[in-house]
Amino acid sequence: MTNLPISGDLVAQHNAARGEALQDDYDSLGRKLERSGIAIDAIKDRVKEWSVAVPSWGTGRGGTRFAKFAMGGEPTNIHEKLEDCAVIQQLGRSTPRVSPHFPWDKVDDYAGLAEEAAGLGLSFDAVNSNTFQDQPGQAHSYETGSLSSTSQATRQQAIEHNVECIEIGRKLGSRALTVWVGDGTNFPGQQDLGRSLDRYLESAAQVYSALPDDWTMLLEHKMFEPAFYSSVISDWGSSLIAAQELGERCRCLIDLGHHAPNVNIEQIVARLHHAGKLGGFHFNDSKYGDDDLDSGSIDPHQLFLVFNELVEAENNPRAGFDPAYMIDQSHNVTDPIESMLSSAEAIAGCYARASLVDRAALHEAQESNDVMLAFRTLRKAYETDVGPILAKARQEQGGAIDWLGAYRESRYRDRKAQERKPVELGAGIV
Ligand code: AOS
Ligand code: ZN
Ligand code: ZN
Ligand code: ZN
């Protein structure tokens, strides 16, 4: 029995007022796609089957190292975060799973938490460990790194934390552990670049050996930040080396913000897929670095090109291709529920557009070196307004045709601002 946070009547009334216009737009797009031999319902069904996980930490206002601007009604614990995730899923219907982060989401009763999530129509996705921050009372500091620290005791602590995350994840029904470490250096010569990777691999192997048989370990690389001279797992090359050394169930996770500017991320997708090591994504957008802006807000075309590779990979699967899709954003100036709904729509929209690409025509144009035709085949799909497909998919699953309008009409955040205790400023900056 699910107990959703927004009144079902409100959503139904909202949809009733918009149903006719949507049907009109959907039928019109359907006729247009039919002329290209595409059945709109088939695309809509693909969208309905597709989903992306939301990050528990993304339900709060993030911040920068300069400031955090709190918002009334912000969640301050995992229970409130789950409630917000339930709103995102209720209105958008493409985010049924939550990716938790430990120790941020620590509770005493994880079986109870899994039940609580189920009652909200949610389940848990990949568990994220945190060895980039010291916690109160922690025996050893991560100042020298974590899995790659020069201190054996610190490495051991980081290993144990990751193993604990796996144990928690088992109780939550999760099937993957995402490991991102901030390990690296700020000065040339600070650490030996080779030995730090050796230490990382040795520690990561111990985490991997604690992995249940049906779990995946996802390694998330990041070029820089918090370390600004070198990072131990800085790029997809280092990530691939590590995943290959660690074992079959270890794969690479691509966070779209973790690359050098202008890097061809879609090609990285193709390369990791070739190696059978494409494990998952953290979707977000960026202009300068790991900006963690809303997915598709800066470069929607890049997001589309990533999905173009993903649809190619889906058609030519290797090594049990089944990436874990997650959002990883930091919202500083918007209501995180609105941002996450907007991103989920942008991501699903790119999946829908990539599904519209005439693959036979594209491959033929590629084989015959008809450059313009190949380019226009992709561009035609990218330029298609798939909004009616996404809205119809939401409507048919009980979500809101106009999620922003319905959310604002529900006054959910205002109600939470009355109920929830305010966020302590200075706390929770991630
Ligand atoms: C850090 O830059 C990474 O994106 C990680 O995924 C991190 O765990 C997450 O962003 C929460 O801070
Ligand atoms: Zn990330
Ligand atoms: Zn990041
Ligand atoms: Zn990021």
What's the whole-number mean pLDDT along residues 16-23?
98
| Helix, strand or coil, per DSSP, at residue 184 | strand
221 lines ligand 1 (CB under 6 A): no
Which atom of ligand 1 lies closest to the CA of 430? 12
Alpha carbons 219 and 180: distance in angstroms, whole number: 6
97 lines ligand 1 (CB under 6 A): no
Closest protein CA for atom 5 of ligand 1:
180
Alpha carbons 222 and 128: distance in angstroms, whole number: 15
- Name the least confident of 204-213, 255-264, 340-349, 417-426: 417-426
Q: How far is the CA of 401 from the centre of ligand 1 (A)?
A: 31
Q: How far is the CA of 221 from the centre of ligand 1 (A)?
A: 10
What's the whole-number mean pLDDT along residues 90-108?
98
> Could you give the percent of the chain with pLDDT greater than 90?
95
Alpha carbons 369 and 63: distance in angstroms, whole number: 48
Nearest CA to 271 out of 259, 288, 286 is that of: 259
Question: What sign for the dihedral angle of Cα 16, 22, 27, 33?
Answer: negative
Structural domains in the chain, CATH included, are 49-357 (3.20.20.150)
Alpha carbons 361 and 345: distance in angstroms, whole number: 27
pLDDT for the residue 64: 85
pLDDT band at 158 (very low <50, low <70, confident <90, very high): very high
Pocket probe mutation, ligand 1, options 282, 286, 330, max atoms within 8 Å of Cβ: 282
Q: What are 222-244's pLDDT values in tens digits?
A: 999 999 999 999 999 999 999 99
Task: Please name the helix (run of DSSP H) or strand (run of DSSP E) that holds residue 383, with its range, or none.
Answer: none
Residue appearing with tokens 């050394």: 245
Would you say residue 425 has pLDDT above 80? no
Q: Which residues of 290-321 are buried (b: 16+ CB within 10 A; e: fewer)?
A: bbbbbbbbbbbebbbbbbbbbbbbbeeeeeee
What's the whole-number mean pLDDT along residues 87-109?
98
DSSP string, 235-250: SHHHHHHHHHHH-TTE
Pocket probe mutation, ligand 1, options 133, 146, 177, 180, max atoms within 8 Å of Cβ: 180
Task: Please name the helix (run of DSSP H) or strand (run of DSSP E) that holds residue 205, with its range, or none.
Answer: helix 193-209
Closest protein CA for atom 12 of ligand 1:
430
Closest protein CA for atom 1 of ligand 1:
180
Would you say residue 427 has pLDDT above 90? no
Assembly ipTM: 0.96
Quote the crossing angle between the two packed helices 387-396 and 40-49, to the nearest 10°.
60
70 lines ligand 1 (CB under 6 A): no
0.95 exceeded by pTM: yes
Q: How far is the CA of 328 from the centre of ligand 1 (A)?
A: 7
Would you say residue 430 has pLDDT above 80? no
Would you say residue 40 has pLDDT above 90? yes
Which atom of ligand 1 lies closest to the CA of 222? 2
pLDDT for the residue 423: 86
66 against 16, higher pLDDT: 16
Which atom of ligand 1 lies closest to the CA of 290? 2
429 lines ligand 1 (CB under 6 A): no
Q: How far is the CA of 255 from the centre of ligand 2 (A)?
A: 5
Q: How far is the CA of 290 from the centre of ligand 4 (A)?
A: 4
Q: What are 290-348's pLDDT values in tens digits?
A: 999 999 999 999 999 999 999 999 999 998 999 999 999 999 999 999 999 999 999 99
pLDDT for the residue 63: 85
Alpha carbons 6 and 405: distance in angstroms, whole number: 13
Residues, CB-to-ion distance under 5 Å, ligand 3: 255, 290
Would you say residue 426 has pLDDT above 90? no
Q: How far is the CA of 295 from the centre of ligand 4 (A)?
A: 10
Closest protein CA for atom 9 of ligand 1:
328
Would you say residue 79 has pLDDT above 50? yes
pLDDT band at 2 (very low <50, low <70, confident <90, very high): confident
57 lines ligand 1 (CB under 6 A): yes
Which parts of 127-212 are beta strand (E)?
A: 127-129, 176-179, 184-185
Q: How far is the CA of 384 from the centre of ligand 3 (A)?
A: 30
Which parts of 157-286 are beta strand (E)?
A: 176-179, 184-185, 216-220, 230-231, 250-255, 278-283
> Could you give the percent of the chain with pLDDT greater than 70?
98
Q: What are 376-409's pLDDT values in tens digits?
A: 999 999 999 999 999 999 999 999 999 999 999 9
pLDDT for the residue 3: 86
Q: What are 347-380's pLDDT values in tens digits?
A: 999 999 999 999 999 999 999 999 999 999 999 9
